[in-house]
Amino acid sequence: MLNERFLKQIDFITEIDKLKNIFRQNVIIEGRRSENDAEHSWHMAVMAILLSEYAPEKIDVLKVIKILLIHDLVEIDAGDTFCYDEKGYLDKAEREQKCADRLFNILPKDQAEEFLNLWREFEEVETPEAKFSACLDRLQPSILNYNTEGHTWQKPGVNKEKVLKRNMIAEEAVPTFWEYITEVIIKDSVAKGYLKE
Amino acid sequence: MLNERFLKQIDFITEIDKLKNIFRQNVIIEGRRSENDAEHSWHMAVMAILLSEYAPEKIDVLKVIKILLIHDLVEIDAGDTFCYDEKGYLDKAEREQKCADRLFNILPKDQAEEFLNLWREFEEVETPEAKFSACLDRLQPSILNYNTEGHTWQKPGVNKEKVLKRNMIAEEAVPTFWEYITEVIIKDSVAKGYLKE
């Protein structure tokens, strides 16, 4: 017998199909169309499998993957906020909290709590898993920008200083990522004109 | 110092961006555009987190998620083969093996082997994790078809018998999914004309 619990889970699974329509600022490499949050989340989850060895302390890879798979779900109502849009950031937390309250509560109570906690953990950036996830959330779009002649970095107001600041969390949290982002991606992008000095 | 291992991992991560351009037969709910493999993989990985409790034997959820995240990567060269295309299935295995050999070997040897083994495990459908993954790979497009007036099921040659046969693995592997697919999705879809009797 199909119970209420299963049907709630299916309702949630159906609802989150909407993440495939939430478009980000960066584009995918071939075809240069905007990437959506579902694709971004998938890409980072695979990166977590491959790159967890670079976390300086032991991390729970399953937890990192869960965080990455669900961290952008709140954008279903709140939309994507461009990371260099200072005005957009003013009410980002409020918009996202409102979506979290609606969306996660479609789930049975225990799973609503689990997802809410995973999302909060990501937002608070305090645990090793949240810090590692945050670093992947910088590295993944950096790789796409690097391979699309700095697509997002060509937008008004973006320069090397801002990109460095955005990625700075990796300096301590995942030094290998920081070295790659600064010494390869940013250095080469400035040299090639993908990113303003 | 960035070593060769890290740079191989980055090459692979860059290469698999192509999965976002491999389009499936089914469409997403809002907007009804073709779903791509990256979105499909993301959706199933979230489903695995939520629905693992319905596996009749204990399963390793991390392994299931890894399988789901990478199971369609071989379609980057081989393309998507429509599950009701009998002709396409004739050389599917050969096309996909060729892609697996090229793609996974971009990775460092140990990770190339891990991904190859995960993909083989999925294809062989013998372990509890592979069976559970296969059932999600039926349930996810069924949910999308059910919510888009049977989009894919309207194609020539598709009928209730074929959809039942395609989903039959769930009867033993995940009886709750089987009950939902047959008693809710298929029954209602036939009644509403989304699927031919």
Q: Does a structural domain hold residue A52?
A: yes
Q: Does a structural domain hold residue B110?
A: yes
In chain A, what residues touch B74 (CB-CB under 8 Å)? none
Domain of residue A155, CATH code: 1.10.3210.10
Q: Does a structural domain hold residue B24?
A: yes
Q: Does a structural domain hold residue B9?
A: yes
In this prediction the ipTM stands at 0.97
Domain count, chain A: 1
CB A151 within 8 A of CB A144: yes
In chain B, what residues touch A31 (CB-CB under 8 Å)? 21
CB contact under 8 A, A17 and B10: no
Tens digit of each residue's pLDDT (9 = 90 or more) over B162-185: 999 999 999 999 999 999 999 999
Q: Does a structural domain hold residue A197?
A: no
Residue-number span of the structural domain to which B21 is assigned: 4-192
Q: Does a structural domain hold residue B126?
A: yes
| Selection from A110, A109, A140, A116 nearest residue A47 by Cα | A140
For A107, nearest residue in chain B (alpha carbons) = B50
Q: Does a structural domain hold residue B150?
A: yes
Tens digit of each residue's pLDDT (9 = 90 or more) over B97-155: 999 999 999 999 999 999 999 999 999 999 999 999 999 999 999 999 999 999 999 99
Q: Does a structural domain hold residue B197?
A: no
Q: Which of A1, A14, A20 to mutate to test the interface with B (most CBs of B within 10 A)?
A: A20
Q: What is the mean pLDDT of chain B?
A: 97
Q: How far apart are CA A185 and CA A146, in angstroms?
A: 6
- Burial of residue B136 (CB within 10 Å: 0-12, 13-18, 19+) is buried
Mean pLDDT over B83-100 rounds to: 90
pTM of the model: 0.97
DSSP state of B182: I
Q: Which of B6, B20, B118 to mutate to test the interface with A (most CBs of A within 10 A)?
A: B20
